[in-house]
Amino acid sequence: MFTSPHIVEDFITKIYSKKCITYELCPEKSGSVVKLVEKVQKVKLHDMQSPHNSIDGFVCTDSPLAILKQNSGLASIKLQQKLHKPLICTISMRDRNSLALSAEIMGLNDFDIRIFLALSGDPIKLGDQPQAKAIFEGNSLRILEILSCLNQAKDLNENPIKEPLKKLYGFSVINSYAKKYEILKNKMESKIKAGALALFTQPIYDVNVTNMLLEWLEEFNERHNSRCILMQGFFPVVRYKSAVFLHDKLPGVFIPTKWIEVLEKAQTKGVEYERQKGMEMSIELFNILYKNYPKIHFMNNNNTIHAKKILDTI
């Protein structure tokens, strides 16, 4: 098997089709992604035959929660070569200024890493490198600006690039919950205006949230003559402690109280029963989200076995 020379453009076509599923891959604090590749290959997550549950692309994370991991750009190169699927490379403003980001994006272009998920980045204080100094020259909009300039064969200061790059594609992220939804709505519009072709949401646990975001998206696409699409974030919660973490520690996510209560009760009957109940609820949620709007970004901390089990229920 070889990697198609049209792998990137084929994926961009795919996100505009009826169905699209991506899966998040988190490199380890390691000098190799071989074990991660093997986890994907073991359950054939990269080569599922059904058109309904196949993975269309992978998203490589950029040291989430500011915990040191392998560089997302370099990991994306290896993962794309080994899995023969398009890699969406996450890049943030936390660790690099616009000069470093521009240079990295140009370098990755030569390896056909051309789709980028732009985000501001988690605070250093959350991670395991307290000595590090955060950059935060701007937010995710700066990355979208860099991509737009490079697509016009120039840098942020209007200086020409000697040899044009292959086309770059910018995606971004959006919360699935906010205490003030008007703020969330304004953020969505700003990212669409900045040229984001797709918005990946934080995990969604209520289909009504999806429908609300889709209504906003339709409004802004019409207003700005854009074609941005939504990718629903999905994160299966199979343990009570995970549900509590999402509820208490991630302000951009809302997990229903009922979900927490069911898992709290289930844990009193043992870990296996707790996981069973969590998996049942996660499978039910996934199918509800998929049937309502079959564009999903699947996240579960590299647990490819659980991912395959859930995807096989479609």
Q: For the segment 143-189, what is each residue's pLDDT rounded down to a tens digit?
A: 999 999 999 999 999 999 999 999 999 999 999 999 899 999 999 99
The answer, yes or no, to whether residue 2 has pLDDT greater than 60, is no
Q: Which pair of tokens denotes residue 114?
A: 């051309």
What are the backbone angles phi and psi of residue 24, rounded to the nearest 5°?
Answer: -85, 130
Q: Where are the alpha helices (DSSP H) in 84-206?
A: 98-109, 140-151, 181-193
Residue 30: count of CB within 10 angstroms of its CB: 12
Residue 290 has pLDDT above 70, yes or no: yes
Q: Which domain holds residue 198?
A: 7-236+293-311
265, part of any domain: no
Is 264 part of a structural domain of the chain? no
Residue 280 lies in a domain: no
Look up the pTM and report it.
Answer: 0.95
pLDDT at position 148, please? Answer: 98
pLDDT at residue 5 tops 80:
no
DSSP state of 159: P
Confidence of residue 245 (pLDDT cuts 50, 70, 90): confident
Quick one: DSSP state of residue 137? S
Number of domains forming the structure of the chain: 1
The rounded percent of the chain whose pLDDT value lies above 70 is 99
Asked if residue 109 is part of any domain, the answer here is yes
Rounded to an integer, the average pLDDT of 217-223 is: 98
Q: Quote the pLDDT of residue 246.
A: 86
Kindly tell me if the per-residue pLDDT of 3 is higher than 70.
Answer: no
CA distances (Å), origin 188, targets 33, 64, 192, 194, 298? 33, 21, 6, 10, 21
**How far is 235 from 251, CA to CA, in rounded Å?**
15
Determine the Cα–Cα distance for residues 61 and 295; give it in Å rounded to an integer: 19
Number of neighbours of residue 31 by Cβ within 10 angstroms: 7
CATH label of the domain that carries residue 64: 3.20.20.220
Residue 1: pLDDT band (50, 70, 90) is: very low
Q: The tokens 């490379």 sit on which residue?
A: 89
Does 137 fall in a domain? yes
Q: Work out the pLDDT band at 46, boundaries 50, 70, 90.
A: very high
**Residue type at 97?**
N
